[in-house]
């Protein structure tokens, strides 16, 4: 069926939007050195886990930070969830579940209507966090995008054919706030809760920070540049210390088109952000002129931000101080000097890793609600000797609002280190260090792509990905200087004996590809989620479906904890207050048409949040 994405969402972007090449002195120098000198490859393995404690593990028994053990699960290609012995799981919320009692239950044949989608749990859940508000459990969760072949599977074309179809798809995007509760041991949505709310691509959101009112954000409908309609393509997330949720707008570019045609001219900024004259098949410009570049050329500048949501009031604001790019997640840390630091990846092949440092300091018990309105934005330079530096984007010499709206261009000018698609960043709650998933990059080391191999992105045509980590030199996350190494280099030791076998902590029992979601629990366990090749063939044989693994950041041991259903990505993770339930996101099962998760035979596959619990009811962690 035509509507099924034959390639992943990211590959679709890559094929339709080759990353604009940049010309910087830095890239010319490094490019030549890497191409002439050959790959630095694992010659840089000195940087691989400075911890000498690391030993290859064949052990099947994994130990969590607080002493709980589990038997690691084997890779598989089942169309269900696999958890270790002694654990159980259940679906909590599935795409299309109504948030209100006057909205019909999900219809597997029609997939509902635009009106029902707008008041139901959205599609393709990604980042999420659970908040405790006045004794209620309030889940805030991103609904990143829709798979056309699933959403419009009732059309022979598998594509949106009517205005209603387009609007239905559009309303399934955004963010869901919903109360959940446990009844007879089973978690579910609390319909009609006062917290329940959907953000869609049409919800008005205030703009705060230095780019508020910028000419670059003004449109005919918003001449002040202060109110933007909608948040969409919300990928990973963050959680602030003051009880708010951060949702990260990622591939916002794929929804724009131009009624003047494919050959209409594009600005350098549109090219750098992948904004094209043709959209990715969603057809939004047909129902909403904001998505027609000829009519609303500044609309793309109004998306690609981090948006802060108050789960109690449902209020939201776009945080321009954190910069505009294809935001993956936003990991918040209170630095030892009490500045608020937010680490953020820009998920594109060869794009960058950023850090925001608040102007004001966090005050325990004080009013911290505007700390993300003002601050400095930095981009990472990783040196080959294991040192690194956060460089202030101001050094690019651009105007204050331009630096934020076109942060990628400022970072290009600075010569930031091109990365293998930075996905989630996670900061260790126990130690001043942070980790980032660099998911994969087929363009690494390819001539003409301006992404030469470097010490932190060591492999040409990187198919498997790696997890890098850094620590500020003085233990203070707001400091510019850091030291880095690689926590894990994914690979397949059954198939390869070269650098593609992966690092020492990868073995036949725990191998995976394309690390993406990444989160620490409060005990210091590092949870790794994957969004990779699930063919289980050739270089990926033995890896099975996408999965979630436990990483021990002290020993380097990695153990598989959960395997997702067919053609899914495992992304999004949070816990109940008592840590007896772990909520895990299952995104796009059956994205190529081959899953019936979680409903089983004859049902439409649906993205879902699942709850994982110990059979003995104990704490997970
Ligand atoms: Fe939405 Fe980069 O993953
Ligand atoms: Ca991701
Ligand atoms: Ca991904
Ligand atoms: Ca995905």
Which ligand is nearest to the Cα of residue 607, counting in written order? 4
Q: Is 420 in the pocket of ligand 1 (CB under 6 A)?
A: no
- Ion ligand 4, residues whose Cβ is below 5 A away: 569
Atom of ligand 1 nearest to the CA of 439: 2
Which ligand is nearest to the Cα of residue 235, counting in written order? 1
Reduced to 3 states (helix: H, G, I; strand: E, B; else coil), residue 420 is strand
Kindly give the distance from the C-alpha atom of residue 391 to the centroid of ligand 2, in angstroms, as a whole number: 25
b/e string for 388-417 if b means 16 or more Cβ within 10 A? bbbbbbeebebeebbbbbbbbbbbbbbbbb
Which ligand is nearest to the Cα of residue 348, counting in written order? 1
Which ligand is nearest to the Cα of residue 248, counting in written order? 1
**Is residue 30 pLDDT above 60, yes or no?**
no
Q: Is 279 in the pocket of ligand 1 (CB under 6 A)?
A: no
Atom of ligand 1 nearest to the CA of 251: 1
pLDDT of residue 19: 54
**Is residue 158 pLDDT above 80, yes or no?**
yes
**Is residue 52 pLDDT above 70, yes or no?**
no
Residue pair 453/30 in contact by the 8 Å Cβ criterion: no
Q: Is 436 in the pocket of ligand 1 (CB under 6 A)?
A: no
Atom of ligand 1 nearest to the CA of 423: 2
Instruction: Give me the sheet containing 526-530, strands edge to edge.
Output: 515-520, 526-530, 547-551, 558-563
Q: Is 348 in the pocket of ligand 1 (CB under 6 A)?
A: no
pLDDT of residue 17: 57
Q: Is 250 in the pocket of ligand 1 (CB under 6 A)?
A: yes
* pLDDT single digits (tens) 489-530: 999 999 999 999 999 999 999 999 999 999 999 999 999 999
Q: Is 249 in the pocket of ligand 1 (CB under 6 A)?
A: no
Assigned CATH for 9-569+579-614: 2.120.10.30
Domain boundaries, the chain: 9-569+579-614
* pLDDT single digits (tens) 453-473: 999 999 999 999 999 999 999
* pLDDT single digits (tens) 358-412: 999 999 999 999 999 999 999 999 999 999 999 999 999 999 999 999 999 999 9
Banded model confidence at residue 55, pLDDT cuts 50, 70, 90: very low
Note the pTM of the prediction, 2 decimals: 0.93
Kindly give the distance from the C-alpha atom of residue 479 to the centroid of ligand 2, in angstroms, as a whole number: 27
Q: Is 351 in the pocket of ligand 1 (CB under 6 A)?
A: no
Kindly give the distance from the C-alpha atom of residue 126 to the centroid of ligand 1, in angstroms, as a whole number: 8
Banded model confidence at residue 567, pLDDT cuts 50, 70, 90: very high
Both structure tokens of 318: 């776009």
Reduced to 3 states (helix: H, G, I; strand: E, B; else coil), residue 509 is coil
b/e string for 554-592 if b means 16 or more Cβ within 10 A? eebbbbbbbbbbbbbbbbbbbbbeeebbbbbbbbbbbbb
Q: Is 346 in the pocket of ligand 1 (CB under 6 A)?
A: no
Kindly give the distance from the C-alpha atom of residue 587 to the centroid of ligand 4, in angstroms, as a whole number: 6
> What is the rounded average pLDDT for all residues in the chain?
92
């Amino acid at each position: 069926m035509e509507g099924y994405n034959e390639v992943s969402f990211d590959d679709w972007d890559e094929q339709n939007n080759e990353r604009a090449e940049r010309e910087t002195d830095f890239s010319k120098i490094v490019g030549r050195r890497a191409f002439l000198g050959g790959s630095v490859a694992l010659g840089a393995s000195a940087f691989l886990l400075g911890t000498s404690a690391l030993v290859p593990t064949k052990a099947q028994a994994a130990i969590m930070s607080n002493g709980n053990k589990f038997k690691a699960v084997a890779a598989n290609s089942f169309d269900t969830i696999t958890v270790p012995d002694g654990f159980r799981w259940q679906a909590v919320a599935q795409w299309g579940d109504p948030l209100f009692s006057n909205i019909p239950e999900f219809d597997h044949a029609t997939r509902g209507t635009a009106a029902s989608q707008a008041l139901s749990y959205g599609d393709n859940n990604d980042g999420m966090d659970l908040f405790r508000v006045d004794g209620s459990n309030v889940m805030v969760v991103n609904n990143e995008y829709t798979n056309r072949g699933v959403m419009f599977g009732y059309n022979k074309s598998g594509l949106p054919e009517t205005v209603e179809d387009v609007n239905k798809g559009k309303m399934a995007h955004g963010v869901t706030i919903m109360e959940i509760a446990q009844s007879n041991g089973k978690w579910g949505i609390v319909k009609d809760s006062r917290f329940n709310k959907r953000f869609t691509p049409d919800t008005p959101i205030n703009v705060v920070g230095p780019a508020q009112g910028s000419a670059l954000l003004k449109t005919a409908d918003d001449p002040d540049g202060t109110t933007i309609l909608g948040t969409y393509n919300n990928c990973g997330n963050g959680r602030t210390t003051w009880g708010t949720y951060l949702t990260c707008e990622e591939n916002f570019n794929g929804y724009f088109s131009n009624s003047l045609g494919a050959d209409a001219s594009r600005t350098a900024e549109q090219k750098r952000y992948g904004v094209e004259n043709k959209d990715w098949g969603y057809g939004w410009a047909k129902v909403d002129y904001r998505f027609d570049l000829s009519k609303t050329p500044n609309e793309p500048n109004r998306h690609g931000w981090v948006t802060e949501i108050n789960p109690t009031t449902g209020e939201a604001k776009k945080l321009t101080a954190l910069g505009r790019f294809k935001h993956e997640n936003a990991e918040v840390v209170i630095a030892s000097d009490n500045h608020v630091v937010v680490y953020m990846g820009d998920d594109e092949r060869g794009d960058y890793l950023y850090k925001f440092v608040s102007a004001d300091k966090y005050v325990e018990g004080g009013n911290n609600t505007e700390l993300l309105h003002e601050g400095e934005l930095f981009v990472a330079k990783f040196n080959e000797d294991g040192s690194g530096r956060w460089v202030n984007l101001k050094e690019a010499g651009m105007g204050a609002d331009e630096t934020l709206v076109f942060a990628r261009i400022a970072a290009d000018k600075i010569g930031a280190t091109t990365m293998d698609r930075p996905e989630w960043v996670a900061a260790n709650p126990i130690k001043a260090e942070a980790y980032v998933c660099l998911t994969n990059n087929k363009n690494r080391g390819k001539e003409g792509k301006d992404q030469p191999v470097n010490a932190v992105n060591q492999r040409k045509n990187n198919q498997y990905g790696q997890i890098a980590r850094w620590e500020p030199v003085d233990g203070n996350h707001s400091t510019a200087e850091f030291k880095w190494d690689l926590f894990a280099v994914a690979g397949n030791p059954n198939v390869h004996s070269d650098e593609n076998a992966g690092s020492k902590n990868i073995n036949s029992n725990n191998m995976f590809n394309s690390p993406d979601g990444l989160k620490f629990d409060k005990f210091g366990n590092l949870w790794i989620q994957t969004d990779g090749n699930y063919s289980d063939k050739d270089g990926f044989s033995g890896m099975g479906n996408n999965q979630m693994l436990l990483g021990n950041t002290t020993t380097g041991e990695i153990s598989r904890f959960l395997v997702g259903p067919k053609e899914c990505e495992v992304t999004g993770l949070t816990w109940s207050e008592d840590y007896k339930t772990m909520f895990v996101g299952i995104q796009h099962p059956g994205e190529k048409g081959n899953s019936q998760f979680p409903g089983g035979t004859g049902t439409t596959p649906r993205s879902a949040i699942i709850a994982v619990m110990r059979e003995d009811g104990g704490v997970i962690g």
